[in-house]
Structure 1
């Protein structure tokens, strides 16, 4: 799947708004966050935000969309590369986990958006948008499924159901969303080490041999 199958990129002028909003939504949750909160975090008036977004829901949806687009941007080049399947799956797993950490505030919004859809706590119009965003998330998962199934067919991984394997893999790779906190003095190697451990756990769970994942 090519990057063109994802969503339209967010205009650069909105990125600071989206970043501030993502932090607010992660810290307070969707329901408890107001446009005023986002404006204060941004150091701007709420009129600036309303210039781009007619409502808090529209802003939240764009945060969700932008978070998923960032995932596609780092994953698709690996998925479409010509490297061996084992290397591809290993690199995809670690890269995904690093994205969950580095863009945690966006990814937590993606997670909350999925929960809002499941709970049905939305208007019909909002639900329609969330269904479209969920489809974007599903398309992303399918990129992983394709490589997972290739690994199984090549005898590199052992699992019965690719759907179950996919969910279990994401449980490991997504886990930093809920427990990772940046600490004073940490550097890029800290994130790399966390992602390596999560990816190793996930790949071992898929039944991959140690020699295939030793360099994760």
Structure 2
């Protein structure tokens, strides 16, 4: 979080833990392996937040209410797990621009596939909305990327160290989703 992936060394990580490099290497063979583990945990936390909302759809919520609840769960997960989710975003950048070994590339491809599966939850909901006549003639893919991007931008501007209240994070997540779902105009 402080220096980014490339500028952070195992020495930096060990110092932050109050540990030795050897202890870090005992658990992770390399810095990229540690990065992958954090990335996996970040994706797990996103799925853990959103999948229960998707599964509730069978209880009679309208598709619009479900989409709004999915976005709310996603926004809150980003705010509450800011550091993990920032690593997920760094993973996307590494995937697009990073030079790595074929084995590392394969692992990162698997992580990106997980991210794509997460996005597909929203694409599926948007496709149901479009089929039900709730969406304009928008591309489901573009709509999903725009909604998720709007929420994920909070990883850039949100400062978790200045906001320790769960209630204020919930309120902020609601406000973000409200703008995305209902816009700014009365």
TM-score (norm 1): 0.78
In structure 2, runs of 5+ residues without a counterpart are none
1:167 aligns with 2:142: no
Q: Which segment is superposed worse, 151-160 or 45-54?
A: 151-160
Cα pair distance change 1:44/1:137, threshold 3 Å: same
Q: Is the 8 A contact 2:82 2:160 kept in 1?
A: no
1:188 aligns with 2:161: no
Within 1, Cα distance between the matches of 2:160 and 2:113?
Answer: 31
Within 2, Cα distance between the matches of 1:68 and 1:92?
Answer: 15
In structure 1, runs of 5+ residues without a counterpart are 1-25, 211-216
Q: Is the 8 A contact 1:172 1:202 kept in 2?
A: yes
Match of 2:79 among 88, 95, 101: 101
SS of structure 2 residue aligned to 1:27: coil
Mapping of residues 1-216 of structure 1, within 5 Å: 26-81=1-56, 82=58, 83-182=61-160, 184=162, 186-204=164-182
Within 1, Cα distance between the matches of 2:51 and 2:144?
Answer: 17
Aligned residue pairs, count: 181
Within 1, Cα distance between the matches of 2:172 and 2:159?
Answer: 11
Q: Is the 8 A contact 1:71 1:99 kept in 2?
A: yes
TM-score (norm 2): 0.90
SS of structure 1 residue aligned to 2:2: helix
Cα pair distance change 1:196/1:132, threshold 3 Å: same
Q: Spell out, residue by residue over 1:157-213, the C-alpha distance to the aligned partner (whole angstroms, 9 max, x if none).
A: 3342001101111121111100001355752222112111211122236xxxx9xxx
Q: Spell out, residue by residue over 1:10-45, the C-alpha distance to the aligned partner (whole angstroms, 9 max, x if none).
A: xxxxxxxxxxxxxxxx11100111112111111222
